[in-house]
Structure 1
Amino acid sequence: MRRFAIPVMVGGTALCTIAATVLAQQAAVPVARYEMRAETMSGLGGMAGGGGMGAAMSMAFGGTPKAQHMLWLDLGSSRAAADGKPKAEHFMPAGAKLGKSVLLRTPQAAKRDPGEADFQRPKGRMLIFWGCGEHAPKGQPVVIDFSKLAAGQVPAGLFTTAVPMDRWVSPSSSKTYGYWPGEDGKSAKPDSSLIGAHRVAGNYSPDMAFTLAKDFMAPLNASNALQPSGSTLLRWGAVADATGYYAMMIGGKQSGQGGEMSDVVWWSSSASRQFGGGLADWLAPATVAKLVNDKTVLSPQTTTCTVPAEVKAAAPDFMFGTLHAYGPEESFAYPPRPADPKVKWVPEWTARIRHRSTTGFLVGMEGFGASAAAGAQQPAPACKPKKKGLGGLLGGAVAGALGVPGAGGDGC
């Protein structure tokens, strides 16, 4: 008999309703966990996400790169393939335009979690700003000396504890691990759709079947413009299904000696000092709802944020911005959770997909960053999935000194 998944829909109110049951009920660790991360990347993010030469030409002629659809798949299992040759594939609906299936590759090298990398310790300082407003309030910026970090002197409260890092499937958490994109030369396209029936089958995990109702999110259409006060007005169009927005900028000031940076400047749209953690990750809707409530994340109704004048003044040489629209989640499990909390839940497998839309822009280039409608574009190159942690946006050297989780991971 073919086994079908029962959707486990978890939202803000639903979470409160079932919280008592979840806490009281014992649950076994599933044999297999499957995770999908879907992202729409626009602006400079579209270029980094696979726009390639087409995106570069668009920029050269005053345009902006077209939006790209990016998809990362991770399968982790407590089983090993009987013949020692692990194989798994994900059968997609026709609208995905990825053929009959995509192969989940099991890495042969020594285990290394997605996003890990080696780093060179940077010199100089980091200046941290936060919050939307024309001017930075008293007490900003917080100055971090990289030399002290390298010596192990980490300032108290440097990293946020309000936004926990999610425990994604990884090689180190699995007996057998498979990922995609791999080496099959396939990648999601700007017009790929995820809606429809999906099936994951392999020789080291139970068969999974589920149907997705949510598609890739719409691209973020953002622009930024310098104001007479020296502040920067960031604007964007509302995105359907967005649960909240989070913006951050990274910039620098050169020392004049060999082009090295004397100061690295970082700003986030959070109303309080929140740095690192899971803010640059795919966040669950329930987590985002809490972060909106405490003003760490901007509400789904917010479409503007003014970056304080002191931020750009501290980073006169360059400044790059990123805006995230966190999106919906769909979760599935087999067998479904028993209604009776006294009955232990022993799932064979769980699967989930999270969405977000991201755009990148250069600060000070008025209008740049507005995304074009998704259309024909060169596909993104196949790559090993890496967690899109804060490190990928700060740069490996800076993130390495700060010990940022996911440092160096940029999706490829």
Structure 2
Amino acid sequence: MHVSPLRAASTLALALSAATLAASAQAAPAELYIDAATHAMPGMPGMGAMGRLAGAMGGQRPSYGMTRHPGMPGRYLDVALYNRAAPGQPATQAVPKGLQLGNSIELLARERGRDEAAGSHDGSGGLGLADGASYRVRYFWGCGEQARSGQPVEYSMTVRNGKPVQGGRAMAPRQVPAQGPDIGPQHVLWPNPGARRGVSDTASLVGTHRLEGSGLPASLQFALDRGDDFLPRIELDSTGSPGEGMALEWNPVDGARGYFIHAMASQGDTIVMWSSSEDGYAGPELMDYLPEALLAQWTGKRTVLGADARSCRIPAEVFAGVEATPVVQMIAYGGQRSIAEPRPADAGRDWSPAWTVRVRSKSTAMLMPGLAAGATRDAARPAAKETARGLLRGLLGN
């Protein structure tokens, strides 16, 4: 039985996650996770504060998990608490005024129906291809005027007599270990159905935070500083055209520890993908939080652009002859900080912290070069939809 590279990589990632959980058997009785994200869509009309207001008026409320893959521009916050003394019981988190959410936020359990709907999906169902259908994926990587020798790498699949026939070389995703909590009924979260609004574009986490609730340690109080706060927006801009090569430039993002860019476009049955990685192709799996050790390793190998990078050129060969508008995604990786209950001066040898906090941040941007500044948002949707359809067909159908 054929096992796709994507599925094999997912299985390996799950094994690594299980090993990580086993190694953390001595975890603190109370664990708090705080994820902060900033998202921008440079040049897209109708976005920004007005776009988010329209979304709110349309009934779109913030929900836990939106920091992973934000939709509208703005700032996003996810908070998850696991209290071993009282799993799934509500808690109150006092927050600084700068967060602009009042004096506190309520951490509540996720609705059961939401848990079931949010179950994992490994892509095993696939999207399916009709007999005789085919698709082709072309991979590029590296910044520069021209594509490197040996590029593109190509992979194809054709269905013959109901069986897939593969050609070329499929690029396996990079191995990014699972991080953070595996959300279940034992966690309480914010945002939740009771959250009336998300964080504003000027919100700040800086200041003192304190948690109270059944079974929580009385000492669960900590302070976040500027290094733990939301990252600024990425002001990403492009010159040139997709068919002749594009020069990408961006502002220095204060607090960023590295950058990564991924672009893709689809036309017919061909999907073209490119990344800024210098040591071989890297995919959309890097458009997420990365463990600090892995980020340092990949920065050294130039998989990730350094914190001092301010520009990158997509070679002309990448999108030459592709009429569809490419989607360019960029991420600035922020810091990750772990905080634990301070050790008392009179603590014995067997003392261990009663609580831990993990805080991490990132800033992302999505750019669709070639769309006129005055174009309507509706004009941008078909291109994004077609690109997404091509990506899913290429990867999940793999």
TM-score by length of 2: 0.70
2:177 corresponds, among 160, 165, 188, to: 165
Q: State whether structure 2 residue 223 is matched by structure 1 residue 211.
A: yes
Q: CA deviation at 1:141?
A: 2.1
Counterpart in 2 of 1:323? Answer: 330
Alignment of 1:244-393 (within 5 A): 244-253=258-267, 255=268, 262-276=269-283, 278-313=285-320, 315-336=322-343, 346-365=352-371
C-alpha distance in structure 2 between counterparts of 1:88 and 1:217, whole Å: 27
- The Cα of 1:354 is off from its aligned counterpart by 0.9
**CA distance 1:321–1:227, shift in 2 (3 Å):** closer
Q: Indicate the residue corresponding to 2:142 in structure 1.
A: 131
> CA contact under 8 A between 1:39 and 1:69: conserved in structure 2?
yes
Show the 5 A alignment for 1:218-237: 218-226=232-240, 230-237=244-251
Q: What amino acid is the match of 1:68?
A: G
Deviations 1:193-241 (A, max 9, x none): 1110012233365452110002222211110112698111000111111
> Could you tell me whether the CA contact under 8 Å between 2:242 and 2:370 is conserved in 1?
no
Q: 1:178 to 1:93 in 2, by over 3 A?
A: same
Aligned to 2:29: 31
Q: Matches of 1:234 and 1:188 in 2, distance apart?
A: 29
- Report what 1:407 is aligned to: none
Structure 1 counterpart of 2:202: 191
Q: Residue in 2 aligned with 1:98?
A: 101
Contact 2:32 2:357 survives alignment (8 Å):
yes
Letter of the 1:178 counterpart? V
Determine if contact 2:274/2:281 at 8 Å carries over to the other structure: no
Checking the alignment, whether the CA contact within 8 Å between 1:284 and 1:328 is kept in structure 2 is no
Equivalent residue for 1:18? Answer: none
Q: Read off the aligned partner of 1:52 and give its amino acid letter.
A: G
Q: In the aligned structure 1, how far is the partner of 2:282 from the partner of 2:128?
A: 18
Contact 1:75 1:179 (C-alpha < 8 Å) held by counterparts:
yes
Letter in 2 for 1:295: R
Q: Is the 8 A contact 1:126 1:146 kept in 2?
A: no
How far did residue 32 of structure 1 move?
2.8
Preserved contact between residue 33 and residue 351 of structure 1 (Cα < 8 Å): yes
Equivalence for 1:86: 89
CA offsets per residue over residues 283-341 of structure 1, 9 Å max, x none? 24443222111101111111010001122225421211111111122320125599x9x
- Distance 1:48-1:403 versus aligned 2 partners, 3 A rule: farther
Q: Is the 8 A contact 1:93 1:197 kept in 2?
A: yes
SS in 2 for 1:283: coil
Cα pair 2:242 2:320 within 8 Å, conserved: no
* Distance across 2 between alignment mates of 1:363 and 1:233: 10
1:40 Cα offset (Å): 1.8
For 2:48 and 2:215, locate their aligned partners in 1 and report how far apart those are by CA, in whole Å.
31
Give, in whole Å, the separation in 2 of the partners of 1:314 and 1:30.
56
Q: CA separation in 1, counterparts of 2:350 and 2:43? A: 44
**What one-letter code is carried by the residue in structure 1 that aligns with 2:225?**
A
Verify the 8 A CA contact 2:257 2:334 in the aligned structure 1: yes
Q: Residues of 2 paired with 1:93 and 1:232: CA distance?
A: 43
Q: Give the fraction of aligned pairs with identical amino acids, expressed as a percent.
A: 27
Aligned to 1:181: 191
* Distance apart, 1:95 and its partner CA: 0.9
Taking a change above 3 Å as real, the CA distance of residues 156 and 251 of structure 1, as seen in their structure-2 partners, is closer
Aligned length: 332
Distance 1:252 1:26 in 2: 43
Deviation, 1:180, is 1.8
Q: Residue 379 of structure 1 corresponds to which residue in structure 2?
A: none
Partner residue, 2:63 = none
User: Match of 1:19?
Assistant: none
Other-structure match for 2:252: 238
After superposition, the Cα gap between the structure-2 partners of 1:289 and 1:33, relative to the gap in structure 1 and judged at 3 Å, is same
User: Looking at both structures, which has the greater relative contact order when contacts are Cα pairs under 8 Å and sequence separation is at least 6?
Assistant: 1
Provide the C-alpha distance between the structure 2 equivalents of 1:355 and 1:273, rounded to a whole number of angstroms.
Answer: 26
Query: SS of the residue aligned with 1:171?
Result: coil
Give me the CA root mean square deviation.
Answer: 4.0
Deviation at 1:29? 1.9
Supply the distance in 2 between the matched residues of 1:76 and 1:290 (Cα, whole angstroms): 30
Cα distance in 2 for partners of 1:49, 1:203 equals 39
CA contact (8 A) 1:26 1:345 kept: no
Aligned residue identity for 2:174? T
- Asked whether the 8 Å contact 1:39–1:217 carries over to 2, the reply is yes
| Equivalent-residue separation in structure 2 for 1:77 and 1:329 (angstroms) | 21
Residue type of the partner of 2:189?
Y
Residue 142 of structure 1: which of 130, 137, 153 is its match?
153
Structure 2 vs 1, CA of residues 87 and 53 (structure 1 numbering), >3 Å: closer, same or farther? closer
> Relative to 1, partners in 2 of residues 1:330 and 1:114: Cα closer, same or farther, differing over 3 Å?
farther
Q: Which amino acid aligns with 1:331?
A: S
